[in-house]
Amino acid sequence: MNIDWLITHSPALLIALPLLAAFLTPIIDRVSKKARNAFVIAVLIIEEIIMILFAWDVFTNGIHIYTMGASNPTETVPSQAVVPVRIVLEVDGMGAFMGLISATVSLAAGIYSLAFIEEEKGKGKFYTLLLLVLVGMVGMEFTGDLFNLFVFLEVLSIACAALIAYRSHFGDAVEGSFKFLIISSIAALFVLFAVALFYAQYDLLNIAALASVMQYSHLDKIALALLVAAFAMKCGAVPMHFWTPDAYSVAPAPITAMLVAASQASLYALFRVCFTLYGLTLNLEVIGGALIIFGLLSMFVGVTMAIPQKDIKRLMAYHAISQTGYMLLGVGVGLYLLAKPEFSSYGIKAMEGGIFHIINHAMYKGLLFLTAGAVYYRLKTRNLNEMGGLGHTMPYTAIFFIIGALAIAGIPPFNGFASKLLIYEAAYKVSPILSIIAMLVSILTLASFVKVFHSAFMGPKIHNVEEAPKSMLVGMAILTFVIIFFGLFPGWVVNHIVHPAAQALADQASYIQAVMGG
Amino acid sequence: MKKAIIFIIFAIFLFYTAYELHPFGEIKESKMDDYIIENAQNETGANNVVTSVVFDYRGYDTLGEATVLFTAIAGALVVLRRRK
Amino acid sequence: MKEERMSIIVTTIANLLFPFIIIFSFYVIMHGHLTPGGGFQGGAIGASAIVMLIVAYGAREIRKKVGEENLSIFESIGGLIFVIVGILGFIMASTFLYNFLVGSELFGKIPPLGSNPGYLNTGGILPLLNIAVGMKVIGGLASVVLVMALFRGDKE
Amino acid sequence: MIYNIPFYTVIALILIGLYAILFKRNLIKIAIGVTILESGVNLFLITLGYRKGGVAPIYTNLPPSIEVPEGMVMPVPQALTLTSIVIGVAVLALILSLAIMIYRHYGTLDSRKVRRLKE
């Protein structure tokens, strides 16, 4: 039981541990409620620790391979076969990076939930589903097999749908969940159809093996279109964004924070398909241009729809769409510039910006949703017009909200500034107009959050409420700590965490080599 | 109207897919499946090759599948739970 | 409150058929590695036996006797067995879900290659996983049907 | 062309499912549409794995005249289909329980009357 053994088996362990816990939770729930809470939190903390150790190892030593059920974890291709037969887990820098986000957000959401869902019945099932969301995210991020990606996409979307409808005594919660579930199952079936097309042509399911034989035939192009449409639907980019505000606004606050991370897992799958599966055979400028256009549309539509909203969580949900636009813009600019050799250093920089923005977004948007949840917990309303003067009675929540709002608007010294600066710089190389639009959207975001802060926290004291419970404050503090840390040391973070992730995404050859050898 | 256009685009794409595919029953590539058929009995000791794929070669998918079922049923119990 | 229970003919036939359906379900589960079938199919058959009782006796009576919580615990145990067998794969041998029972006493026999009449004591971890999935499916499908059937009565 | 009829049939099935999802207003009909779409995709996988004249890949009492592996159909698509059928059952169970809940709140399954949310 030494550290090497742990690192070798951690790709499987990181999925098996929350899964085991999810199966155990209903049984422990029968025995004691306190034990169940302690058990869930302990599992989430252990998961986070193993994830940090493992991610650090991936960032320093490169890709990890784990073949399920083989006699040796690294034996991807059996001795008599020429192609991978078993399911291979393949974790590169990008996968480990996304895993870190998932584990951190889940930990914060888990601790926050302790107080938040106090009054509901069926809490055992709530924690089971929360662990299963984590399983789905990590499973999607670690897998190296297309069909397996589909399976964990379904785990993720079903668990999310069930949690969105958790407060099923509100009609709109059930409706939002229904919409989400229908969209997700259609998206998942598109993915399955694309998998079938690959299977028909190459008799392969492994991503790396498929990438090594990809011919970019007509069928491959159709499969690409289906996969991009499916994952764009799931990550909530314009024009398939209509489910996001409905689902985000009705879910319990900790679940909304996890939904942000879950939609980023879909974004990761989108990038994985574009970069690794198609990679070199792809026409980089066209797909980069398409991502830029999607990104700009998402940014603009999201922020303009957000400004008139009265519901605090709907408003934040529209901002989530607009921030997804930044990530697409960053990575799209990266792809576009990578196609031109003279700008390729800027290309990597733009991708770093987009990828850094993913983790930043998960942290500050998660924090903002959690503060909105704290306000809802005390006031039982999401309407901004009924709030006011909360700064007097809920000072910690107000501080957390300010930090989150400044980070989302890209004000130094918070983390949003660092990633947005990287995107502005690189987008300027493509066209100055892109940078100007991006900055404009930032300013509108700031304006919108100033409005929210003013109407919720400023003004005379109207409501006689207490500060949010301790466990909720701890959950918010975890995310705030990460935001401030990333804001104070952006250089260190970019060099040690973001750069390996961007490099891994751009480097298709070593991803293939890790599985196929030679 | 928008929906009708989406639907027609899909119909064209999908029928084109069927047109492009290999003739029914004549498989182009079968490296992975041939390996499995030939070695399944030896490696897993099961006569039913499909079962050995489901539980051994792709056992991890089956774990995921069982998880999906568990998730959906937990979800249904949560959604329809009594509130008293 | 309307009487949910059906006539005595239906309940008697259901009582008579129940053991046969359950035995058939066990047969399909246990022979999953030899003949068409397996954990899911056998589990669905077993769940249909419980659904038949729900139809015959009404959901409330079955709920009193079995309870959807117990069925859901049964399902969790099935899932636990699956994950534990998987984890044993890398504790006892090399990787997660490694078929570590091939060659051992329990289900470890390797059948003669090619066509053969089929031996039950083969397949390594496959029969174990079949049982686990079977438990899961019986518990899961029965509990979800029970909850859906009960729901009508919840409104009052 | 005529030999590819199974593929065209499957595509037609998928399109029927999509049609139900896009144009039908009743939530139960939408759920049926999802199921039909999913059956179409499952059948697509199965048809892809068919080898002319192949038998099921099971060695128990296999007739001796069958050649291995050419005489057997592909096992992997069948396994994938098995997995995706179970996933379909799971999705359907959740969709139906959500539909039950919606009916309880609004007394209707018509999506035009249900949409209290914007858009």
D59-109 per-position pLDDT tens digit: 888 888 888 778 888 999 999 999 999 999 999 999 999 998 888 888 888
Note which residues in 21-80 of chain B have CB less than 8 A from chain D.
Answer: 21, 23-27, 30, 32-34, 36-38, 40-41, 47-50, 53-54, 57-58, 61-62, 64-66, 68-69, 71-73, 75-76, 79-80
Q: Measured between CA atoms, how close is D109 to chain B, in angstroms?
A: 17
Q: Measured between CA atoms, how close is B21 to chain C, in angstroms?
A: 29
**In sequence order, what are the residues at sequence separation of 6 or more whose Cβ sits closer than 8 angstroms to the Cβ of residue D50?**
B24, B25, D6, D73, D74
Count of helix runs (H) and strand runs (E) in chain A: 21, 2
Q: CA angle, C68 as apex, C65 and C69 as ends, to 5°?
A: 105
Tell me whether residue D119 is in a domain.
no
Do A174 and D105 count as a contact with CB atoms less than 8 A apart? yes
**Do residues D35 and D74 touch, judged by C-beta distance below 8 A?**
no
Instruction: Look at residue A138 in the predicted model and tell me its pLDDT.
Output: 95
Q: In whole angstroms, what is the distance from residue A361 CA to residue A353 CA?
A: 12
Cα distances from A208 to residues A145, A202, A277, A281, in angstroms, run 8, 12, 7, 14
Per-residue pLDDT of chain B (84 residues; tens, 9 = 90+): 788 998 999 999 999 998 888 888 888 888 888 899 888 888 888 888 998 899 889 989 999 999 999 999 999 998 888 765
- The partner residue sitting opposite D102, judged by closest CB among A175, A203, A246, is A175
Asked if the model's pLDDT at residue A162 lies above 70, the reply is: yes
Angle, helices D5-23/A171-202, rounded to nearest 10 degrees: 160
pLDDT digits 0-9 by tens, A166-193: 988 888 889 889 989 999 999 999 999 9
Minimal-distance CA residue of chain C relative to D98: C148
Asked if the model's pLDDT at residue A143 lies above 70, the reply is: yes
pLDDT digits 0-9 by tens, A58-103: 999 889 999 988 888 888 888 888 889 999 999 999 999 999 999 9
Do C126 and B43 count as a contact with CB atoms less than 8 A apart? no
Contacts with B27 from chain A: Cβ below 8 Å: 203
Sign of torsion over alpha carbons A63, A266, A405, A115: negative
Contacts with A139 from chain B: Cβ below 8 Å: 64
Instruction: Look at residue C97 in the predicted model and tell me its pLDDT.
Output: 86
Probe site for chain C from A68, A88, A125 (most C CB atoms < 10 A):
A68
Minimal-distance CA residue of chain A relative to D107: A171
**Which of C44, B67, C47, B59 shows the shortest CA–CA distance to A158?**
B67
Q: Measured between CA atoms, how close is B81 to chain A, in angstroms?
A: 7
Q: In whole angstroms, what is the distance from residue A340 CA to residue A354 CA?
A: 19
**Do residues A237 and A291 touch, judged by C-beta distance below 8 A?**
no
Minimal-distance CA residue of chain A relative to B23: A200
Probe site for chain C from D46, D73, D86 (most C CB atoms < 10 A):
D86
- Domain coordinates of chain A in residue numbers? 3-516
Do A222 and B17 count as a contact with CB atoms less than 8 A apart? yes
Q: Measured between CA atoms, how close is C123 to chain B, in angstroms?
A: 4
Cβ-in-10-Å burial (0-12, 13-18, 19+) of A139 comes to: buried
Contacts with A317 from chain D: Cβ below 8 Å: none
Q: In whole angstroms, what is the distance from residue A3 CA to residue A209 CA?
A: 30
Instruction: Look at residue A190 in the predicted model and tell me its pLDDT.
Output: 94
Do C115 and D97 count as a contact with CB atoms less than 8 A apart? no
Phi and psi, residue A413, nearest 5°: -95, 30
End-to-end CA distance of chain B: 46
Do A87 and B60 count as a contact with CB atoms less than 8 A apart? yes
Tell me whether residue C2 is in a domain.
no
pTM (2 d.p.) = 0.94
Q: In whole angstroms, what is the distance from residue A407 CA to residue A403 CA?
A: 6
**Which of A422, A511, A514 shows the shortest CA–CA distance to A94?**
A511
Q: What SS3 state is found at A206?
A: strand
**In sequence order, what are the residues at sequence separation of 6 or more whose Cβ sits closer than 8 angstroms to the Cβ of residue A17?**
A43, A46, A47, A50
Question: In A157-264, which ranges are E strands?
Answer: none
Contacts with A166 from chain B: Cβ below 8 Å: 78
**Which of A397, A284, A273, A298 shows the shortest CA–CA distance to A357?**
A298
Give me the mean pLDDT over the A143-161 stretch. 94
Asked if the model's pLDDT at residue D118 lies above 50, the reply is: no
Q: Measured between CA atoms, how close is D2 to chain C, in angstroms?
A: 31
Instruction: Look at residue D106 in the predicted model and tell me its pLDDT.
Output: 85
Q: In whole angstroms, what is the distance from residue A160 CA to residue A106 CA?
A: 13
Give me the mean pLDDT over the A470-485 stretch. 92
Contacts with B18 from chain D: Cβ below 8 Å: 4, 7-8, 10-11
Give the distance from CA A191 to its chain's centroid: 19
Contacts with A176 from chain D: Cβ below 8 Å: 117
Do C80 and A23 count as a contact with CB atoms less than 8 A apart? yes
Cα distances from A152 to residues A229, B65, D82, in angstroms, run 18, 9, 16
Contacts with C129 from chain B: Cβ below 8 Å: 55, 59, 62
Chain C within 8 Å of B40 (Cβ-Cβ)? no
Say how many C-beta atoms besides its own lie within 10 A of residue B21's C-beta.
19
What tokens appear for A92 in the block? Answer: 């590169």
Tell me whether residue C31 is in a domain.
yes
- The partner residue sitting opposite D90, judged by closest CB among B61, B68, B80, is B68
Give the distance from CA D1 to its chain's centroid: 24
Minimal-distance CA residue of chain A relative to C79: A23
DSSP string, A50-91: HHHHHHHHHHHH--EEEETT-SSTT--S-TT-SS--S-EEEE
**In one letter, which amino acid is D32?**
I
Say how many C-beta atoms besides its own lie within 10 A of residue A290's C-beta.
16
Cα distances from A271 to residues A94, A221, A264, A349, C5, in angstroms, run 10, 16, 10, 16, 56
Tell me whether residue C3 is in a domain.
no
CATH number at residue D93: 1.10.287.3510
Q: For chain D, how many structural domains are there in total?
A: 1
**In sequence order, what are the residues at sequence separation of 6 or more whose Cβ sits closer than 8 angstroms to the Cβ of residue A127?**
A25, A29, A36, A37, A40, A110, A113
Contact residues of A toward D, CB < 8 A: 147, 150-151, 154, 158, 161-162, 165, 168, 171-172, 174-178, 181-182, 185-186, 188-189, 192-193, 195-196, 199-200, 203, 205, 242, 245-246
Do C93 and A71 count as a contact with CB atoms less than 8 A apart? yes
Contacts with C155 from chain D: Cβ below 8 Å: 104
Judge if the upstream peptide bond of residue D77 is cis by omega within 30 degrees of 0.
Answer: no
Give me the mean pLDDT over the C71-86 stretch. 91
Q: For chain C, how many structural domains are there in total?
A: 1
Give the distance from CA C87 to its chain's centroid: 22
Give me the mean pLDDT over the A94-123 stretch. 89
Give me the mean pLDDT over the A325-340 stretch. 86
Instruction: Look at residue C153 in the predicted model and tell me its pLDDT.
Output: 46
Give me the mean pLDDT over the A219-225 stretch. 90
Give me the mean pLDDT over the A217-244 stretch. 87
What tokens appear for A130 in the block? Answer: 């929360």
Q: Measured between CA atoms, how close is C86 to chain A, in angstroms?
A: 9
pLDDT digits 0-9 by tens, D10-26: 999 999 999 999 898 89
Note which residues in 459-518 of chain A have CB less than 8 A from chain B.
Answer: none
Do D60 and C155 count as a contact with CB atoms less than 8 A apart? no
Contacts with D60 from chain B: Cβ below 8 Å: 47-48
Minimal-distance CA residue of chain D relative to A180: D95
Highest mean pLDDT among A134-143, A336-345, C57-66: A134-143
Tell me whether residue D62 is in a domain.
no
Identify the domain containing residue C143 by its residue range: 8-154
Average pLDDT, chain A: 89
**Do residues C49 and C14 touch, judged by C-beta distance below 8 A?**
no
**CB–CB contacts below 8 A, A to B:** 127
Phi and psi, residue D110, nearest 5°: -80, 120
Highest mean pLDDT among A97-111, A372-386, A400-414, C52-66: A97-111
Q: In whole angstroms, what is the distance from residue A296 CA to residue A337 CA?
A: 17
